[in-house]
Structure 1
Amino acid sequence: MTTHDAWVRRDVRRSAPTRTVDLAGTEWPLYKLEALAVALLVFVTILVVTQTLQAAVLTAAAAAVVVWWARRLFPPRS
């Protein structure tokens, strides 16, 4: 019997280590903090413009996911 292990996560090897920020003794990748900052900015902006909490939350969540994955998969070259 054979098994299919496509669901197993494979670690991505990078040549440069991920930049991190120390918050209360825990190393956070910079792309996560950037995604949270963008989400907060989008949330406040949409909430002020539309005055609808549902639209602000959903838009901010979508923006956070896009920034999170874009910065994780395509880190800046420096």
Structure 2
Amino acid sequence: MGSFSIWHWLIVLAIVLLVFGRGKIPELMGDVAKGIKNFKSGMADDDTADNSKTIDNQPNQPVNSVKEKTTKS
């Protein structure tokens, strides 16, 4: 299997343009860029939320931690 020539890539490009249309590809790329931007901002929000929960360098306690049950003797 050799590498593809320029004609192969031009045919593939023509088929992609026929399937998606000329205006659809920039819209898809814009949506991908918005998704990446939202993901990065969400990750940054999580980091700041984790840092604000930590007090005096103590590890965070789980929200749904199981409390020790006391048994009656």
TM over 0.5: no
TM-score by length of 2: 0.41
**Greater RCO, CA 8 A, separation 6+:** 1
**Which structure has the highest helix share of the two?**
2
- Greater Rg, structure 1 or structure 2? 2
Greater share of residues in strand: 1
TM-score by length of 1: 0.39
